């Protein structure tokens, strides 16, 4: 171990003092490396802020040994802070990381390391560091450096041990959902994976990658042309059919078709017929009848109001559009903040906003939030809302505007398209987005992977819809939840 008196002797050390201490620590510093220290002002203050692995790699280019030793030296320069420990059951030897014999066994009692001064101050004052990406990355980096002293291949239980220790000491860093530490667990795993990538030539890393690495088989691309009626959500949604037969269902559907042709349909007649045919309709959907066939047979499913009413029958949600608006308005400012600088569409929205009257801004902001929401989940806007013909069979809202500036500044109708046909026309963007969302449930469609996070967030967090057998929220959704609420 290094001299225990190192920290106390290093108050306001200059760059030259740091170089001297590094040499005393046993790291040979060449003239080129010393010049890099001076050119980049690597003094005691800079080290206390926390140098990244990239910075250290630049200082000691080409020598892993020097880089690792300097990181250890830098940790010992920082002022000691009261540490918090969390005791767990000692794992048997066969549960330890495969590389423990090289690095030393992972401790049964994990001690949180010393964090940089700026981070430690925020932690001590209970500031939400997990909502600030730079602060979160620093915490993960320090935890990674500490774990890496024992192994470059931590086991799942070791990741969990460290994540639990962190939120035990700082409960305000917990996730909003799930087991409360999943995002820290996943961040550490990704950090180790990223740090191991440049070391593939290292014998230990190469052997472990061959032994434990994932070997993915090629996946077929999404079929943008075919039908998706075979992709169902869950069979438990389907209710047994009783009290109706083909003859009575035929009579009800004829009533619905006649009412649909009227300028002002009788809402009581429509509601009665749709309710009586509901169980039969759900049976047809479960059996894989195409969405366009279902919509033509029950034509009020070709209206936004009809889709929302069907959602109410499925999940007992009244005033769905009102609930959506109320809940979305609560998070709208943070949605716009998280999307800032992440898309050309956001720049178009900001430019249009500057040219608009103050009374028009609330409506503009709401539309921008709906359009930009997928971006914060790292999904493409055009998979949800588009100006062009949708290139996918999944429910998509197509705007009738000629450009995005017009879409943000002017109210205009939208069209919901799914499975290759026009499902319904909506009065505006909001109504179209809600209708497209409802279509997944009405026609029993599974969320496609490239839009699953956004749709799951709308379902579980905005509309508060839960289904039996729902999987836990993904790490991506939980991380965004932590920042929005």
Distance separating alpha carbons of residues 398 and 428, to the nearest angstrom: 10
User: Taking phi first (over 0 means left), then psi (-120 to 50 degrees means alpha), and beta for anything else, what does residue 32 get?
Assistant: alpha
Q: Is 235 a domain residue?
A: no
List the chain residues with pLDDT less than 50: 1-11, 80-84, 86, 88, 90-91, 93-102, 200, 219-227, 229-232, 234-240
Distance separating alpha carbons of residues 34 and 95, to the nearest angstrom: 43
CB distance 357 to 187 below 8 Å: no
Number of domains the chain contains = 4
Distance separating alpha carbons of residues 51 and 46, to the nearest angstrom: 7
The structure tokens listed for 220 are: 């077929």
SS3 state at 254: helix
In a shared domain, residues 383 and 411: yes
Given 48, 77, 106, the domain boundary residue is 77
Given 270, 302, 334, the domain boundary residue is 302
Domain of residue 203 covers 117-208
The confidence score (pLDDT) of residue 100 equals: 38
Distance separating alpha carbons of residues 135 and 125, to the nearest angstrom: 14
Which residues touch 332 (CB under 8 Å, ≥6 apart)? 365, 366, 369
Q: Is 169 a domain residue?
A: yes
The confidence score (pLDDT) of residue 12 equals: 65
Distance separating alpha carbons of residues 444 and 289, to the nearest angstrom: 10
Q: Is 237 a domain residue?
A: no
In a shared domain, residues 333 and 297: no
Q: Is 87 a domain residue?
A: no
In a shared domain, residues 137 and 255: no
In a shared domain, residues 359 and 460: yes
Q: Is 311 a domain residue?
A: no
Distance separating alpha carbons of residues 389 and 382, to the nearest angstrom: 10
Cross-strand bridge partners of residue 425: 415
In a shared domain, residues 354 and 479: yes
The confidence score (pLDDT) of residue 458 equals: 95
The confidence score (pLDDT) of residue 452 equals: 93
Sign of CA dihedral 475, 481, 482, 484: positive
Residues in the chain: 485
In a shared domain, residues 47 and 20: yes
In a shared domain, residues 371 and 470: yes
Distance separating alpha carbons of residues 103 and 437, to the nearest angstrom: 51
Q: Which helix (H) or strand (E) holds 335?
A: helix 320-339
In a shared domain, residues 474 and 325: yes
What does the pLDDT look like over 352-387, one tens digit per residue?
999 999 999 999 999 999 999 999 999 999 999 999
Rounded-to-5 percentages of helix, strand, coil across the chain: 60, 5, 35
In a shared domain, residues 24 and 142: no
b/e 219-236 (16+ beta carbons within 10 angstroms → b): eeebeeeeebbebbbeee
Distance separating alpha carbons of residues 58 and 32, to the nearest angstrom: 11
Distance separating alpha carbons of residues 274 and 298, to the nearest angstrom: 8
Closest by Cα among 11, 166, 21, 46 to 118 = 46
In a shared domain, residues 202 and 279: no
The confidence score (pLDDT) of residue 215 equals: 52
Distance separating alpha carbons of residues 382 and 343, to the nearest angstrom: 12
Q: Is 437 a domain residue?
A: yes
Distance separating alpha carbons of residues 299 and 155, to the nearest angstrom: 55
Given 237, 272, 302, the domain boundary residue is 302
CB distance 202 to 102 below 8 Å: no
In a shared domain, residues 331 and 478: yes
Q: Is 195 a domain residue?
A: yes
Q: Is 105 a domain residue?
A: no
In a shared domain, residues 297 and 412: no
How many CB atoms are closer than 10 A to CB 79?
12
Closest by Cα among 120, 134, 122 to 83 = 120
SS3 state at 110: strand
The confidence score (pLDDT) of residue 362 equals: 94
CB distance 399 to 436 below 8 Å: no
């Amino acid at each position: 171990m290094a001299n225990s008196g190192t920290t106390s002797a290093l108050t306001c050390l200059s760059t030259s003092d740091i170089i001297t201490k590094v040499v005393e620590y046993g790291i040979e510093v060449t003239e080129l490396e010393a010049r890099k220290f001076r050119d980049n002002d690597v003094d005691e203050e800079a080290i206390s802020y926390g140098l990244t692995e990239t910075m250290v790699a630049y200082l000691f280019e080409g020598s892993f040994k020097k880089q690792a030793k300097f990181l250890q030296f830098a940790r010992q320069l920082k002022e000691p802070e009261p540490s918090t420990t969390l005791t767990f059951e000692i794992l048997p030897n066969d549960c330890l990381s495969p590389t423990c014999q090289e690095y030393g066994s992972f401790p049964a009692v994990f001690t949180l390391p010393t964090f940089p001064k700026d981070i430690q101050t925020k932690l001590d004052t209970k500031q939400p560091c997990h909502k600030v990406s730079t602060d979160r990355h620093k915490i993960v980096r320090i935890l990674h450096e500490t774990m890496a002293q024992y192994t470059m291949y931590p086991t799942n239980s070791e990741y969990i041990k460290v994540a639990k220790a962190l939120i035990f000491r700082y409960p305000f860093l917990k996730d909003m959902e799930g087991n409360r530490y999943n995002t820290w667990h996943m961040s550490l795993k990704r950090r180790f994976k990223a740090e191991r990538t440049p070391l593939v030539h290292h014998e230990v890393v190469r052997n472990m990658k061959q032994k434990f690495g994932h070997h993915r088989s090629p996946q077929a691309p999404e079929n943008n042309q075919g039908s998706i009626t075979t992709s169902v959500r869950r069979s438990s949604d389907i209710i047994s059919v009783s009290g109706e037969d083909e003859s009575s269902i035929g009579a009800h559907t004829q009533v619905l078709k006649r009412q649909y042709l009227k300028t002002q349909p009788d809402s009581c007649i429509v509601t009665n017929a749709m309710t009586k045919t509901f169980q039969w309709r759900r049976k047809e959907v479960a059996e894989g009848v195409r969405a366009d066939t279902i919509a033509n047979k029950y034509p009020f499913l070709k209206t936004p109001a009809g889709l929302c009413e069907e959602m109410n029958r499925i999940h007992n949600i009244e005033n769905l559009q009102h609930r959506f608006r109320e809940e979305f308005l609560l998070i709208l400012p943070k949605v716009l903040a998280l999307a800032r600088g992440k898309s050309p569409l956001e720049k178009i929205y900001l430019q249009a906003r500057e040219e608009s009257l103050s009374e028009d801004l609330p409506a503009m902001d709401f539309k921008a939030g709906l359009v930009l929401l997928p971006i914060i989940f790292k999904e493409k806007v055009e998979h949800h809302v588009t100006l062009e013909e949708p290139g996918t069979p999944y429910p998509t809202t197509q705007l009738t505007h000629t450009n995005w500036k017009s879409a943000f500044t002017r109210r205009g109708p939208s069209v919901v398209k799914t499975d290759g046909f026009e499902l319904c026309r909506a009065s505006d963007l909001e109504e179209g987005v809600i209708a497209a969302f409802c279509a997944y449930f009405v026609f029993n469609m599974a969320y496609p992977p490239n839009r699953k996070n956004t749709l799951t967030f709308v379902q579980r967090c905005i509309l508060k819809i839960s289904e039996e057998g729902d999987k836990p929220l993904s790490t991506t959704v939980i991380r965004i939840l932590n920042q929005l609420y």
